[in-house]
Chains A and B, each alone.
Chain A
Amino acid sequence: MRNFSILVLLIWVASCNMKQDPIMVSAEELHSAVDKVTDIMVHDIFSPPVASRIYAYPNIAAYEIMVLNNDGYNSLSGQLRELEPIPDPEAGKAINYPLAALIAHMDVSRRLIFTEEKITVFRDSLYGIWEAQNRKEFNESREYGLAVAEHIAGWMDKDNYKQTRTMPKFSVNTDDPSRWQPTPPAYMDGIEPHWNKIRPFVIDSAGQFKPTPPPPFSMEEGSDFYKEVKEVYDISNEITEKGDASEEIEIAQFWDCNPYVSVTRGHLMFATKKITPGAHWIGITKIASRKTNSSFDDSLYAYTKASIAMADAFISCWDEKYRSNLIRPETLINEHFNDSWKPILQTPPFPEYTSGHSVVSGAAAIALTDIFGENFAFDDDTELRYGLPVRSFSSFNEAADEAAISRMYGGIHYRTAVEIGVKQGRDLGQFVLQQLDMKNESALVAN
C-alpha cells in the first residue's frame, strides 16, 4: 500500500514537473528528420525521380504549418497545383508550430517510403521525449500535425503517381539503332517511363521546358552525333590513363549519386547504394542552412523551395528522356569502338537525353542561390559517408556546372545532354522562382 502511494506520487511529480516545459524544436531536428528520409530512401532503393517526389511533399506539409506562425512566409496553397489551404488549428489548442510541422513532415514521409518501421522507430523515440516534456502541447500539436499530413496526403494521392505504377513498361526495340537499350551489368528496364504524367507543382506541364533536340542520330564518321559519342570515348580514355586520382575521375565519382549500382562478382552480387542527385542537393541545402545558422523556419523554407524546384525538374527531364529515347554512350561505344569499354560510372537505367543530374542541379542551384545568395561558398561533405572526399565550391552554380560535366567524365552522357540539361534546369528554376511567392517581403521589412 505504501509502495503504491509512492508510485502514484512519483508519477504525479514526474508528469507535473515535466508538463510545463515548452517543447523546443530546432533546425537540427528538421535536418535529422530530412536525413532520416534520405537514409530510408537509400535502403529502400528509390529511383531519382521518385526520390524527388518523396522530398517535396513532407517539406510542403511542414512548410504550410510553419507559415501559420511566421508572417515572413506565405502559404503555397493556390500557388502549387491543386493545393488547398490546410485546415486551421482548433481554437484554444496549444499548438507548437515547429513541433506540429516536424510531426507532419515525419508522417507524410512515412506514407511515401516503404520501410515504415525505420521511420516509426525514429518518430516514437522523439514522441517519447516530447511527451515527457509537455504532454498537452505534444498531444495537441501532434493532432494538428497529423491532420495536416492527412490533408497533404489527400492532395498527394491525386498526383497520378498511383496510376503510373501500372502503366506499361518501356518497350525495348533493338531494331532502332538510336533507341535506348538496357545497359550492363543489370540490364534493368527503363525506369519511370511515365513520370511526365505526374502532376507538376509549379510548371504548366511536363513539356514546358522542352529542350532543343539532341543532334540527329548518325554513326557516320564526322556527324555531330558521332563526334559526341567519340568525345565521350576519348575523354574516358584520357582520364582513365591519368588514373583514379585525376581530377575528372574524382569529380565523376563525387557526383555519381546512383541509388543502386549493381556489382557482380561471379556468383556474388551486391549493390552499392548511394543517395540520389536530389538527395545530394538536399544535403547541400542542409550545409547552407547550417552555415548561415538558419532557424527552423528558414531552413524549412530552403528545403521546400529547393525540393519543389527539383521535383518539377525531374518531371521536365523525364518528359524529354522518354521523348527522345536516346541510346547511351556505353551501348554505342561497345558496338562501334570497343566492346569491352566500361564507363567510369555505371550507366543508370533510363534514356540519355537530357542528363537528369544536370537538369536537377541547374534547378536546385537557382533555388539555393535565390535563398542564400550568389557566391555562397561551401564545403560539400554530403558524400563523406559514402567514402568520397569533401569538395569545396564558391557558389551553387559552380557546383551545378561541375555536377553536369561530371556525367561526361563518368562516361554516361554526351556533351549536349549536359549543356542543354543544365540550361533546362536553370530555366525551369527561374520560372519556379518567378511563380512562387513564398517570402512575405513586407513582413520581413517590418521585422
Chain B
Amino acid sequence: MNKAVTLISFLLILASCTRDGELFHNPSPSETGIEFKNELTPREDLNILDYLYFYNGGGVAIGDINGDDLPDIYLSGNQVKNKLYLNKGNLKFEDITEQAGVAGESSWNTGAVMGDVNGDGLLDIYVCAVVGIKGLNGYNELFINNGDNTFTESAAQYGLDFDTYSSSAAFLDYDLDGDLDLYLLNHAVHTEESYGRANLRYKRNYQTGDKLLRNDGDSFTDVSEEAGIFGGIIGYGLGVAISDFNQDGYPDIYVGNDFHEDDYYYLNNGDGTFTDSLKKYFGHTTRFSMGNDVADLNHDGWPDLLSLDMLPEEEEVLKTSEGDDNIQTQRMRIDRFGYHYQFTRNMLHLNRPGSYYAETALQSGIAASDWSWSALFGDYDQDGEQDLFIANGIPKRPNDLDYIRFVSSEEIRSKINNTRLVDQEALNMMPSGAVHNYYFKGKGASFEDLSHTMLKKDTLISGATAYADLDLDGDLDLVTNNLYREASLYINQTNEKANYLKIKFQNPGPNSYGIGTKVFSYHNEILQYKELYPVRGFQASSEPIIHFGYDQAEIIDSLRIVWPDGTFQLVREVAVNQTLTLRPENPKIFDYASLLPKHKKHFKKVEDNLGIAYEHVEDNYIDFNRQKLIPYQISDRGPAVALGDLNGDGRDDIYFGGSKFYPSQLYLNADSTFVSQRYPELARDSIIEEVSAVIEDFNADGKNDLFLGTGGGDFFGESAPLLDQYLVQGENGFTKSQLPEYYEHASVVKAHDFDGDGDLDLFVGNYTRTNDFGVIPPSYLLKNENGVFEILDNKLPENLGLVTDAYWADLDGDQNEELVVVGEWMSPRFFKNNMGNLTEIFMLEQEISGLWQAVIPSDIDGDGDLDLILGNWGNNNKFRASQKNPLRMYYGDFDSNGNTETLVSIPKNGKYYPLEGLEGLSGQMESLRKKFNTYRSVAGKPIEEILDKKVLREATLFEVNELRSGILMNNDGKFSFAPFGQELQLAPITAFLSYDFNKDGREEVLAGGNYFGVKPYHGRFGSFSGAMIAGKNDVILGHEMGMDLSQKSVRHLNVVQMNGQHYVLVTFNNSKAAVFQWLN
C-alpha cells in the first residue's frame, strides 16, 4: 500500500514536471527539426557592460514563402547565424538557410520581419542588425524572395542597408499610395547617466534615431524629418505597433521607448506627416517600455494597446528589484526635463475615441509579468475573446538591489576597470531572471492568469514571439526565439473544441497581402475587430492572416472588410472553420465617421466659463517627505466650494476656498455672468487651506455668513491655519467671529438644524492629522445659539473615523434626518437624531469598510426611499481587499522614537506583505537596517516576520474589505451594498451631485473622481472620465456625454443657475474650475 502511494506520488511529481500545458504542446526540436538556438557568448569586448541590450535576443518572422499555404519560419540570431525553416506539414520543418541564402552577413541581428517589399506577391525578409558597437559590422539586410526558395539580398538597392542600432522594423502604407513603407525602430545606447532634456529627441542621430522610409517603387526615401518622426539620441526604441488608432483610415504608430524617454504616439495627419500626441491621449505610460501589441479587447471596434514593462509578480523578486522612481526625482524629470508620467508596470490602454485612453492594467490583472519582451493578443482558445501570451525572462537581473548595493562593488569593480569583462563569478551572483512565460485568458478587458495550467512550466528566456497556424488546424500556434535554448513551438490544442475563421487577402497592387485591412466581424450581436498588421509584439512578424474565434457559433452573420484604400465590402453568412481568401469586390467608400460612437452629448463646455476664472493651485508640498510610508497624501483634499447668496440679490454666488499662498476667491452672480469680487477681509489669511465651506445665515440677521473648514498638509499641532473660520456678514462686510478652539484637518462641514430651534447647527467632520496619519481626531457637532457655535460634547463617538464626507438625510422615512458619515478605513456610520441627541444606529446588512471618499443620498431605484451612492478607491490600483482578505493598515510608533508610522500591507495568497521593501521601510524605520542586512532578507517575508509581533499587536489595525464604489440599496431601512461595474472602478470617486437634469421627475447622480496624491509606486489614478448614474446599470460615462473629466482630480460638482439655465460647475484640485451646460 505504502509503496503504491510512494510510486503514485513519484509518478505524479514526474508528470507534473514534464506535463504539457493544457492549451499548448511543446514538441521537441528533434521532432520538428527546428534546432535554431540563440546561443550567446559574452566576449571581452562585447558583453552586457559594453552593450546594454546584449540580452534582447533575436527575431522571428513567420509567413508562407513558397506558396504552399504552410507558414515557414525565419529565426534571427545575435551571434549565431539566422535560419529559415520550410514547413513541410505535420509540424516537420526543413532548414533551407544555405540554399535560400538568408543566413545573413551581419555580426549581430535583432528583429526579423516579413513583408512584400517589391509588390510581387511574395514575402520578403527584412532582418535588422546592430552595427558600429564594439566592432559589430554589417547592415540591415533585405532578402528579396525569388519565388524558388532562394532569396537575393538587396538592401543596398532599396536603400534599406542601414548600419545603425536597429531593434526592429514595421511595414505600413502610411501615405496610402498602395505600397509598403517601413518604420525602422532604432535604439539608443547612450548610458543613462543624466536625463538630459526631452527636447533631445528633436536632434537627429543617425545611429540611434528611428526612421520612416517611404517606398518610392524601386527604393526607399528617408522622410523622417518632414514627416515629424523623432530621431534623437534618447530614443530607446524597443516596441513598435502600427494601427489606425483613431479610425480615420490612416495608419498611426506607437513607439515604446525604454528608460526615461517617453513613448511616442504618432497620429497620422493624412498628408504625409505625423503628430506625436502622447500627452494629449495618455495620462501615463510604461517606463521601461518593451514590446507591445494592439487588439480590440472590449468589442467596441477600436484598437486597444498593451505596452510591456518589467514589474515582477513574485514578492521576493519585487522586493529585491529596483522599483519606481522616488517621487521627487519623478517630479523633476517631468517638470524640469519635460518628460511624461511613466511607471514601472505593464500598461493596458483602452481606446476611448476623442478622449484619453483609459489605463486599466491593474484592474485587468495584467500589470505584472516580470521582465517582459513580447505580448501577443490572440483568441488562442477561440471563445471569441482575446487572450494574451507574454514571453519574458533575462539571464541575469542587473537591477537586483543586493547586487547593486552590496555585491557589485567588491566583486566587479576591479575586474571592470582592468579587463572590462564582468567576471563570470560576479555575474553568477546576479540572480537569474528566467521567469515562466505567461498566458492570460481574456474576457473583454479582464484577464485571468492561467499560465500554470495552459503552458508547460518553463525556465526559458523568451523574447521575440510570433503566431501562425503552423499545422493548419485553424488555431493559433506560437513560436518563441529563446536565449541559450532552441526556439520553442507552442502548438495550440484547441483544435475542434471551438470554431474559428482565418482570412487572407489578395489586394491588388504592390501591397499584395493587404497590410492594413480591417475586419469587423459580427456574430450573435458580438463585434470582433482586427487589423492586418503582421509586425507586432517584439522584434517579430506573425503570419499575415486575420484570425477570429467563435466558440460554438456556426455562422458569422457578417464580415465587413475595410481595405487599405478606404473602400469596404460586406460578406454575409460566413461559415466557420475555414480559411477565406478575400479580394476587393465592388467595394464602396467606407465612411469612417460611422465608426465614431453615437453617444448623445448631454453637456457642453461653456466657452467663457460664465466668467469664472478660478484656478486652484496646490503648492508643491509632498506629504511623503514627512511621513514616508503613508498610503496617500492628505494635503490635497481642497479646495472648498460653496454656493449661496452673499450680496443679498437673491442669486447664488460662488465661494472658492483658498490654498496655501493663494487667497480664497468670490464670484458674484451678475445676471449674465459671474464677476470676481474682492473682499479684503476674506483674503487676509492667505496661507490657510480651506477644504469645506458652507454659506448660510447662521445668526438670522438676513445676511448669509460663511463657515470654513480648514486643513492642509503642512500644518500640524496647534497651528493657527488649522482653526476653522466663522465669518459673519454685517453691514460692512465679513468679520471673523469666535469659534470653539480646535486644531483639526476638517474634511466636511454639513449644516442642519439638529436641535430643532430654528437655526442651523453644524456637523464638522475631521479627517486625520499631518505627521500622524492614522490618528482618529474628534469630529464635532457645533450647536448654534443665536449665531454663536459651541461644541456639543459626547454626542458623537470619539473614534468616529477618518471622516471624508457626511450627509443629513431621512433614510428611514420618519421625516427626521439621520446623519450618515463616511470615511477612509471605516464602514459608513449612521446616527439617529433626537433634538441634538445622536444615537448610532446600525443600518448595514454587512459592514463594508472602504476608502470612502464621498456619499450622496438618492432614490436610485425609484422605490420611494433614499439609497446611498458611495465613492470609493476603485479597483484599478495596487491595493487588494475582500471580505476574506481585507487590506490592512497598522498605525503605531514601531520604532519607539516618539513618532507614529503607518504601514499598509496587502494580501497576497493569504499572507500580508508591506507595500515597500527594505529601502522604503528603513527610510522611516532605520532599525530595520540592523535587523535585515540585505534586501533579500526582507523580500518575500510577510509583515509579521519583518516587524515584531508584539509591535504589530500593540499597533492600531485598520482594515478595508471593499475598494469598489457602489450603491447602498435601501431595503426598508436596511442597506445592502451593490458595487458598480468595472467602468466606475477605474479611479477613486471623490464627488457627487444629485440633480434632475432631464426633468423626468427623478434625480440623476453625477459622479467625478481621479486622484494623484500617491507615490509613483501606485501611479496616477486619472482614467475616470466622470459619469451620470441614473440607475445601477444605467450609467453614461463623462467622455461619452460631453463632460470629459479624465486626468483631472475632481473635488466638487455643483449646479449653478444663470438666466434660467442650469450649469454644472466642476471644481478640481490644482486646475481651473470648469462650467458645463446641460443640453438635454
Query: Interface residues, chain A, CB within 8 Å of chain B?
Result: 43-45, 114-117, 162-163, 165-166, 168-175, 181-182, 184-185, 187-189, 264-273, 334, 339-340, 342, 387
A267 to B322, CA, bound (A): 11
Partner of A271, one of B328, B408, B924: B408
Q: Are A267 and B52 in contact (CB under 8 A)?
A: yes
Q: Which residues of B contact A334 (CB under 8 A)?
A: 194
User: With A266-B192, A342-B193 in contact, do A271 and B48 touch (Cβ < 8 Å)?
Assistant: no
A269 to B191, CA, bound (A): 10
A172 to B322, CA, bound (A): 22
A265 to B926, CA, bound (A): 30
> Lowest 6 CB-CB distances: which A-B pairs, in order?
A266-B52, A270-B408, A184-B194, A169-B625, A268-B398, A187-B329
Distance from B428 Cβ to chain A, minimum over Cβ atoms (Å): 15
- A-B pairs with beta carbons under 8 A, tally: 117
Q: Are A268 and B897 in contact (CB under 8 A)?
A: no
A340 to B191, CA, bound (A): 12
Q: Which residues of B contact A170 (CB under 8 A)?
A: 625
Q: Which residues of B contact A173 (CB under 8 A)?
A: 620
Partner of B412, one of A117, A264, A270: A270
Cβ of B335 under 8 Å from chain A: yes
Q: Are B192 and A166 in contact (CB under 8 A)?
A: no
| Chain B window 890-915, contacts with chain A (Cβ cutoff 8 Å), 1 for yes, 0 for no | 00000101110100000000000000
A272 to B403, CA, bound (A): 12
Q: Which residues of A contact B897 (CB under 8 A)?
A: 162-163, 165-166
A365 to B52, CA, bound (A): 45
Q: Are B196 and A339 in contact (CB under 8 A)?
A: yes
Q: Which residues of B contact A184 (CB under 8 A)?
A: 193-195
A114 to B412, CA, bound (A): 23
Distance from B483 Cβ to chain A, minimum over Cβ atoms (Å): 15
Q: Are B48 and A168 in contact (CB under 8 A)?
A: no
B contact face: mostly helix, strand, loop, or mixed: loop
Q: A334's closest neighbor in chain B, by CB?
A: B194
A-B contacts, 17 listed (Cβ < 8 Å): A44-B929, A115-B933, A165-B926, A166-B895, A171-B625, A172-B328, A174-B331, A182-B328, A182-B329, A185-B194, A266-B52, A266-B192, A267-B52, A268-B48, A269-B399, A270-B413, A342-B194
Distance from B624 Cβ to chain A, minimum over Cβ atoms (Å): 8
Q: Are B408 and A172 in contact (CB under 8 A)?
A: no
Q: Are A166 and B193 in contact (CB under 8 A)?
A: no
Q: Which residues of A contact B953 (CB under 8 A)?
A: none
A97 to B404, CA, bound (A): 42
Q: Are A265 and B404 in contact (CB under 8 A)?
A: no
Q: Which residues of B contact A339 (CB under 8 A)?
A: 196-197
Q: Which residues of B contact A45 (CB under 8 A)?
A: 405
Distance from B207 Cβ to chain A, minimum over Cβ atoms (Å): 15
Q: B188's closest neighbor in chain A, by CB?
A: A266
User: With A267-B48, A268-B49 in contact, do A189 and B326 touch (Cβ < 8 Å)?
Assistant: yes
Q: Which residues of A contact B51 (CB under 8 A)?
A: 266
Beyond contacts A114-B933, A266-B192: 17 other A-B pairs, Cβ-Cβ < 8 A, are: A44-B929, A166-B897, A169-B625, A169-B628, A187-B332, A189-B326, A266-B48, A268-B49, A268-B52, A268-B398, A269-B399, A269-B404, A270-B412, A273-B409, A339-B196, A342-B193, A387-B417
Considering only CB atoms and an 8 Å cut-off, how many residues of chain B contact the other chain?
53
Q: Which residues of B contact A264 (CB under 8 A)?
A: 191-193
Please indicate which of the listed interface residues B895, B901, B930 has the most CB atoms of chain A within 10 Å of its own CB.
B930
Partner of B620, one of A162, A171, A266, A268: A171
Q: B930's closest neighbor in chain A, by CB?
A: A114
| Chain B window 621-639, contacts with chain A (Cβ cutoff 8 Å), 1 for yes, 0 for no | 1101111100000000000
Q: Are B625 and A168 in contact (CB under 8 A)?
A: yes
A446 to B569, CA, bound (A): 114
Cβ of B9 under 8 Å from chain A: no
Q: A110's closest neighbor in chain B, by CB?
A: B930
Cβ of B10 under 8 Å from chain A: no
Q: Which residues of A contact B189 (CB under 8 A)?
A: 266
Contacting residues of chain B (915-952) with chain A, CB-CB under 8 angstroms: 924-926, 929-930, 933
Cβ of B452 under 8 Å from chain A: no
A302 to B625, CA, bound (A): 40
Cβ of B275 under 8 Å from chain A: no
Q: Which residues of A contact B48 (CB under 8 A)?
A: 265-268
Q: Which residues of A contact B399 (CB under 8 A)?
A: 267, 269
Cβ of B453 under 8 Å from chain A: no
Please indicate which of the listed interface residues A44, A168, A185 has the most CB atoms of chain B within 10 Å of its own CB.
A168
Contacting residues of chain B (861-899) with chain A, CB-CB under 8 angstroms: 895, 897-899
Q: Which residues of B contact A116 (CB under 8 A)?
A: 930
Cβ of B406 under 8 Å from chain A: yes
Q: Are A266 and B53 in contact (CB under 8 A)?
A: yes
Q: Are B899 and A166 in contact (CB under 8 A)?
A: yes
A118 to B1024, CA, bound (A): 52
Q: Which residues of A contact B901 (CB under 8 A)?
A: 166
User: With A171-B625, A174-B336, A271-B409 in contact, do A266 and B933 touch (Cβ < 8 Å)?
Assistant: no
A234 to B621, CA, bound (A): 37
Cβ of B1071 under 8 Å from chain A: no
